[in-house]
């Protein structure tokens, strides 16, 4: 005999099942469209080699990085189908999920919030694919141990760094893996003429550092300098102006190396907030004014200076 509560529960579960089915259908359609776009990118290789933004499309990435990454994976001679990405939140919107699902790569993802990683463990992809998801607040001191203890070392297909803070310092510290493709978030608010990163603090947290959420990470100039030191070539940024792409020099093939001036993109998204946490929608270079007086580390002079 069914009670009213039983009937409501059954209806609710039916709705959930239908929503999950619709979501699966939508993802299948996106994957099919992405496969078609990937083939078009391959056919257009000559042009994409000179401008990686031409390959952009979005499946799981926040912006349109899935297309760029898929083109690079298809084009480059990769010996290892492995990736590491950190700063993934709950991984529903990330730059390596498409590689995991579409290419069946093996990966390690990390995020500092336990509930985010718990969510990943409960997702269907966690048993369907070879993914390791770890809760960790990443620092320059612990990154190599975190990578090693979860079974990754040596040759790596792709590394993506997006931790809204010590990105420069963490990439500088990484030595246990040698990725072919490196993607690092840069802070375009710092401009294209300043070799700046936030001074290293192991416990750096973007919102605590400055209420605007504009004070974080590294300028593209500092990342390009570091890339050169580590044996990488800068090949451009995504069109939204937040992710920079670097290829290990021995794997560059026909990709066009770009100067900082050629590849820099000023972001157009308006994520700044006021002291109460409300969006302020500040545009362009006015965003730098919002963080005047904050200290930055000049990576060419190796000294602290103040944003003026």
Q: What is the predicted pLDDT for the residue at 284?
A: 85
Positive or negative torsion for Cα 124, 129, 135, 140: negative
- pLDDT score of 22 more than 80: no
CA nearest 80: which of 106, 109, 99?
106
Alpha carbons 258 and 265: distance in angstroms, whole number: 12
Task: Determine what percent of the chain is predicted with pLDDT higher than 90.
Answer: 88
pLDDT of residue 21: 54
Least confident of 25-29, 173-177, 251-255: 25-29
Give residue 29's pLDDT band: very low, low, confident or very high (50, 70, 90): confident
Q: Going by C-beta distance under 8 Å and a sequence separation of 6 or more, which residues neighbour residue 3?
A: none
pTM: 0.91
* Whole-number pLDDT of residue 28: 72
Structural domain boundaries enclosing 95: 4-306
Q: Is the pLDDT of residue 12 over 90?
A: no
3-class secondary structure, 142: coil
Length of the chain: 308
CATH number for the domain including 289? 3.40.50.150
- Average of pLDDT values for 198-225? 97
- Read off the pLDDT of each residue in 3-20 and give the average, rounded to a whole number: 57
Q: What is the mean pLDDT of residues 168-173?
A: 98
* Number of domains forming the structure of the chain: 1
Per-residue pLDDT at 5 exceeds 70: no
pLDDT digits (tens, 9 = 90+) for 173-184: 999 999 999 999
Q: Which residue has the tokens 């993607």?
A: 183
Helices (H), the chain: 4-43, 45-48, 65-75, 97-103, 114-122, 125-128, 143-149, 167-173, 206-209, 220-230, 260-263, 286-290
């Amino acid at each position: 005999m069914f009670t009213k509560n039983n009937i409501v529960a059954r209806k609710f579960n039916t709705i959930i099942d239908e929503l999950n089915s619709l979501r699966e259908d939508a993802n299948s359609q996106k994957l099919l469209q992405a496969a078609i776009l990937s083939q078009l990118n391959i056919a257009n290789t000559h042009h994409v080699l000179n401008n990686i933004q031409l390959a952009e499309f979005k499946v799981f990435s926040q912006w349109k990085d899935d297309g760029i990454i898929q083109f690079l994976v298809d084009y480059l001679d990769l010996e290892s189908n492995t990736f590491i990405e950190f700063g993934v939140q709950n991984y529903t919107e990330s730059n390596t999920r498409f590689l995991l699902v579409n290419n069946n790569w093996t990966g390690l993802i990390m995020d500092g919030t336990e509930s985010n990683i718990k969510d990943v463990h409960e997702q269907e992809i966690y048993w369907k694919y070879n993914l390791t998801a770890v809760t960790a607040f990443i620092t320059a001191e612990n990154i190599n141990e975190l990578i090693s203890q979860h079974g990754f070392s040596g040759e790596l297909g792709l590394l993506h760094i997006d931790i809204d803070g010590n990105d420069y310092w963490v990439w500088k510290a990484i030595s246990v893996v040698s990725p072919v493709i490196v993607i690092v978030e840069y802070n375009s608010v710092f401009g294209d003429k300043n070799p700046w990163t936030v001074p290293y603090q192991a416990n750096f947290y973007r919102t605590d550092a400055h209420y605007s959420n504009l004070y974080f990470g590294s300028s593209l100039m500092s990342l390009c300098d570091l890339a050169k030191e580590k044996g990488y070539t800068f090949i451009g940024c995504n069109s939204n102006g937040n992710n920079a792409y670097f290829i290990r020099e021995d794997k560059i093939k026909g990709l066009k190396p770009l100067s900082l001036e050629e590849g820099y993109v000023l972001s157009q998204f308006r994520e700044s907030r006021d002291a109460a946490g409300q969006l302020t929608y500040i545009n362009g270079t006015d965003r730098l004014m919002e963080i005047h007086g904050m200290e930055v580390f000049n990576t060419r002079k190796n000294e602290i200076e103040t944003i003026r």
